[in-house]
Amino acid sequence: MYKYFIFIALLFFSFCIKSPAVLDPPYFILQYLQNINSTENQGNNSQCPAPAGPFNPGAILDTGQTLCWNGAGTVQTCALWLPGADGDFNNVPNARSFVGPTQHCKFTSDYTIFDPLHGLTWKACAQGQTGSDCSGSVAAPN
């Protein structure tokens, strides 16, 4: 009886574990988009240096909240009246640190901000504004 059980279990699991014969099209597209060695990607990014890692995309930053308030809107001592509140933890688990705004290496009229913990870069100004002071008017969305 034991032999039959093992045979049936192996037969069942052999059909469950097979990899697909043909990979899904989104996987091929993802491979194409992530191809770092392509000449097109190297030509487009030749002016901009890659930021130095390592980065931790899943890391949690401190919110920067340093004070605590009660329901009436008055400031309270976090450690005494609201222990465990966000204002009670300073730079825990990770301190916030952003670099910028700095001039973009390719689009010199745009300025960017860099997050060294996550490795993210974003525009400092809204779309349509340029320069270090974000001069100009905001572009209306289509």
Q: Residues 67-107: pLDDT tens digits?
A: 888 889 899 888 888 888 888 888 888 888 888 898 888 88
Q: Which amino acid is at 10?
A: L
Q: Are residues 111 and 123 in the same domain?
A: yes
Q: Is residue 26 part of a domain?
A: no
Compute the average pLDDT of residues 38-61. Answer: 69
Query: 117 pLDDT band (50/70/90 cuts)?
Result: confident
Within-domain flag for 67: yes
| pLDDT > 90 in the chain, percent | 9
| Residue 92 belongs to a domain | yes
Q: How far is the C-alpha of 59 from the C-alpha of 6, rounded, in Å?
A: 45
For residue 5, what is the enclosing H or E element?
Answer: helix 2-16
Are 91 and 102 members of one domain? no
Cα separation, 77 vs 69, in Å, equals 8
Side-by-side strand order, sheet with 120-123: 99-103, 111-115, 120-123
Q: Domain range holding 113?
A: 97-129
Q: 90 and 101 share a domain?
A: no
Query: Residue 101 domain-assigned?
Result: yes
Confirm whether 9 is domain-assigned: no
Tokens of 21: 């014969």
| Cα 120 to Cα 8, 18, 47, 55, 98, distances in angstroms | 51, 38, 18, 9, 10
For residue 108, being part of any structural domain is answered with yes
Is 91 strand, coil or helix?
A: coil
The Cα angle at residue 22 between residues 17 and 20, in degrees rounded to 5: 5
DSSP 81: H
Domain count, the chain: 2
Q: Could you give the CA distance from residue 53 to residue 59 in angstroms, rounded to a whole number?
A: 14
pLDDT tens readout for residues 9-41: 776 666 665 565 665 555 555 555 555 555 555
Residue 124: per-residue pLDDT: 92
Give whichever of 61-65, 94-98, 133-137 has the largest mean pLDDT: 133-137
Question: Tokens for 105?
Answer: 């290496």
Query: What does pTM read for this prediction?
Result: 0.54
Residue 10 lies inside a defined structural domain of this protein:
no
The tokens describing 100, both together, are 């910028």
